[in-house]
Structures are given as structure tokens and as C-alpha cells.
Amino acid sequence: MKLSSRVDKMKPSPTLALAAKAKELKAQGKDVIALSVGEPDWTTLEPIANAGIAAIENGQTKYSPAAGNPELRQAIVEDMTSFLDKSLAVENVSVTSGAKYSIFAALACILDKGDKVGIPCPYWVSYPTMAELCEGEPVFIQTQAANRFKLIPSELEDALKKGLRLILMNSPSNPSGMMYSKDELAALGAVLKKYPDTWILTDDIYSRLVFSTPRAPHLLQVCPELFERTVMIDGASKSYAMTGWRVGWAVGPTNLIKAMSSYQSQTVSCAATFSQIASVVAIKEAQELVRESVKSLEKRKDHFAALLRDIPGLEVHEPDGTFYFWVGINAFLGKSFEGKKIQDSGDFSNLLLESENLVAVPGKEFGIDGYLRMSFAVKEETLTAASERLKSFIAKLS
């Protein structure tokens, strides 16, 4: 039977597909190293897990209100009020089943058919598909390696002149790991102020996983006047190692938040009740533990950076946050491995897997070819072994 045209737009997530391929090879007994994962390798921080278990034991296993558990919404309000130095109310917060659903619901509530969505490259793989599923039209905005893959005001303005309904921003970024400074955000904000019909969606899911400061700076800290057309997305997945609990949230103007909660009520009802209760503990009591996780991540990042720098021809862009390395492999495009020509990052990634059992995600999946994304949320010895495999593969290219 025929399926809808929507299905044609639904490309399967390439990162999940690679993770599945790695699992399959492992099941065949191959010694695979997967640097494709998009989640911490540690389990949910203990006080949070205990709060979830207690919630289940106490029978908090029924539906919650569609907009979220009131205590969690209040915890988010308090956190964001102090972060932004702006008074907010629970009506500014909608809790969803994962941050991914917050992004989807926001797009569904903002976009009409054919509306243009600005997506800076490299981008998180789900943005273009989600925009298309909501009948929007992605407008890709190229960034430059020289600017550390961050948008500069002239690039933003050129895109805005095309009549964007919404612009997506993600700092620190998956996949580049780059974070905007307050000054850079202020310069972009000055441009955004000139285009009052454009919504701004900031995906802040990695904002606490940054190395130089406890939290990534936010556009609204420097341009608070953009609040009425900005929706901020965050969630429990990455900071608190809660990817499987499925809790995300959106903070924004009340009309959009109300619409998003209604949209969720008619599609997934609500986020899991006990997960929301555990997330209250995450926000209120786990910040010290998050800093410890970040310290351990930073050690791995430094370890991997030193190893990668030792590989001739590799372009190493050290991340400001997240757990991803974005490395340039342009020097190897056009070379061959055992007679097979490497045309793009997809070929490089496939042959790397074939030859060394090492999984890295090709940059072309993120909108820029000539790069690989490698997760460093794995043990240091795994990073050492991975870098040796990468070095050995590169040495075999002719």
C-alpha cells in the first residue's frame, strides 16, 4: 500500500545507522571501536537515578500534565531566571519527551508550508529532516574553518535577507564542538534585531558540557530584547547522562509554549512522569557532579587531541565543549586505499571501518564534506587504540 510523501523526506538518522552497523560487526566477533556514539559512556548520576527509582516505587507512574510536571517546570524557571537574569513563569516552560521532540514541536508550531529555515553548517543531522517534516525549506548557511565553523554576522545577514522564518543556532555545536563567546553572540544579535519576523531557536543541549566555563553564554544574555521570538531548547540527556529517560524542555514566549504543549498533548501526551521527577533532582542537586563529569571529559579531550595532532595531514579542531572532535581529512580526499579511490568523507569512513574496524561519522552527514566527527565519550585507552587505527589507515593511503 502507498505511504505518504512525508515518508520520502524521512531519511534515517545516519549516526544511529552507523551505531547499528558497529553493533552488528561486534556481534560477529569483530573488535570494533565506535566513535559514533552521541551519548556519555557513564550511567545516570546516582542521586538522579535514585530519585527515578523512588518515584516509580511511590507510584508516580501516571500521566503528567502535557506541559510537564509542575515541580520540574518550576525548577527550570528558577534555573533560567537566574541564568538569564530575567523573571520567567511556568507558562514560559514546556517539558517534552526529549529535547528532540521540543525542537520538532517548536518547528511544527512555527512553520507554515514553504517557510525557510536557516541551518548553519555543520549542523546536527536531524535539523533538516525535522524542518522538512514540518513542511519548511532548509536554507543551509556555510561557515568557514577559519572562523572555527561559527557563523559570522555577514553570513547570518545574507541568510536573513532570503526571508528566513526561523534560524537554528546550536552552541556548543554538535558536530563541531565550537561555542560562541558573548561578544560573538552580541554581534549576531545586532543583526537578528534588524529582522523582526524571524524566530530564533537555540539548541542548548550541550550548554553545560563546556570546558572553560560552567555554562555556555546565551544570546539572550546579551540581547534580552529578542526573548519574544526566541525558543531555547535544553534537556536532561547529555549533561546528566539521561539519554534513555527522555526528558527535554523548551523555554520561550507563552504563546509558543502553550501551542507546543497542546501539540505534545495530541501526539505523545507527556514526558515520562518518573523521568521528570528525576530531572528535578538533576537540575537542583547534580551540578557539582556535572562539573566532575566535564573534568573527566576534558581529560579525554586533551588526551585525544595530543594523539590526533601526531597524525600527519589531519586537521585538528579542538572543541570548546560537547564530546565530539571535528577533524579535517581534506588532505586525504583523492587518495586511494587498496585501489579504491576516496572521493569524500563517506568513502573515508566506510574504508576506515572496513580496514580498521573504527567507526567515525562522515562530515558530509552534517553538511560539510572533508571532515569526520569522532566522539570522545569513551575510555582513554579506547581513544589511544582509535588514534592508532586511524594513523595506520592513513599510512596505507596512496
Ligand X SMILES: Cc1ncc(COP(=O)(O)O)c(C=O)c1O
We find the least distance from the C-beta atom of residue 100 to ligand X, in angstroms, to be 3
Q: Does 99 bind ligand X (CB under 6 A)?
A: yes
Grid cell, residue 223, equals 540581547
Applying CB under 6 A, among 40, 68, 98, 120 the residue interacting with ligand X is: 98
Applying CB under 6 A, among 94, 174, 202, 261 the residue interacting with ligand X is: 174
140 touches 127 (CB < 8 A): no
Grid cell, residue 353, equals 571501518
Question: Nearest-CA neighbor of 169 among 329, 178, 254?
Answer: 178
From the list 77-85, 92-100, 313-321, 338-346, the region that binds ligand X by CB under 6 A is: 92-100
From the list 235-243, 254-262, 305-313, 326-334, the region that binds ligand X by CB under 6 A is: 235-243
The amino acid occupying position 250 is A
Near ligand X in 195-214, by CB under 6 A = 203, 205
We find the least distance from the C-beta atom of residue 97 to ligand X, in angstroms, to be 8
Question: Nearest-CA neighbor of 218 among 81, 74, 73?
Answer: 81
Q: Does 115 bind ligand X (CB under 6 A)?
A: no
Mask of contacts with ligand X, 41-80, x by CB under 6 A?
A: ----------------------------------------
| Gap between the Cα atoms of 299 and 293, Å rounded | 10
Grid cell, residue 95, equals 517539558
From the list 94-102, 279-287, 293-301, 383-391, the region that binds ligand X by CB under 6 A is: 94-102
Near ligand X in 242-271, by CB under 6 A = 243, 248
319 touches 326 (CB < 8 A): yes
From the list 97-105, 108-116, 256-264, 298-306, the region that binds ligand X by CB under 6 A is: 97-105
In this complex, which beta carbon is closest to ligand X, that of residue 14 or of residue 224?
14
What is the crossing angle of helices 14-27 and 345-356, to 10°? 10
From the list 93-101, 143-151, 355-363, 365-373, the region that binds ligand X by CB under 6 A is: 93-101
End-to-end CA distance of the chain: 49
The amino acid occupying position 113 is K
Q: Report CA-CA distances (Å) from 203 to 65, 219, 231, 332, 379.
A: 24, 11, 9, 32, 27
We find the least distance from the C-beta atom of residue 388 to ligand X, in angstroms, to be 27
The amino acid occupying position 26 is K
Applying CB under 6 A, among 68, 128, 235, 328 the residue interacting with ligand X is: 235
From the list 5-13, 98-106, 276-284, 384-392, the region that binds ligand X by CB under 6 A is: 98-106
Site residue total, ligand X (CB under 6 A): 13
We find the least distance from the C-beta atom of residue 387 to ligand X, in angstroms, to be 23
- Reduced to 3 states, what is the DSSP secondary structure of residue 309? helix
Q: Does 170 bind ligand X (CB under 6 A)?
A: yes
Dihedral sign (CA 270, 83, 243, 17): positive
Q: Does 128 bind ligand X (CB under 6 A)?
A: no
In this complex, which beta carbon is closest to ligand X, that of residue 15 or of residue 387?
15
Q: Does 38 bind ligand X (CB under 6 A)?
A: yes
240 touches 285 (CB < 8 A): no
68 touches 280 (CB < 8 A): no
Question: Nearest-CA neighbor of 368 among 342, 319, 330, 340?
Answer: 330
Q: Does 122 bind ligand X (CB under 6 A)?
A: no
| Gap between the Cα atoms of 136 and 316, Å rounded | 34
Mask of contacts with ligand X, 334-373, x by CB under 6 A?
A: ----------------------------------------
242 touches 275 (CB < 8 A): yes
In this complex, which beta carbon is closest to ligand X, that of residue 96 or of residue 198?
96
Positions in the binding site for ligand X (CB under 6 A): 38, 98-100, 124, 170, 174, 203, 205, 235, 237, 243, 248
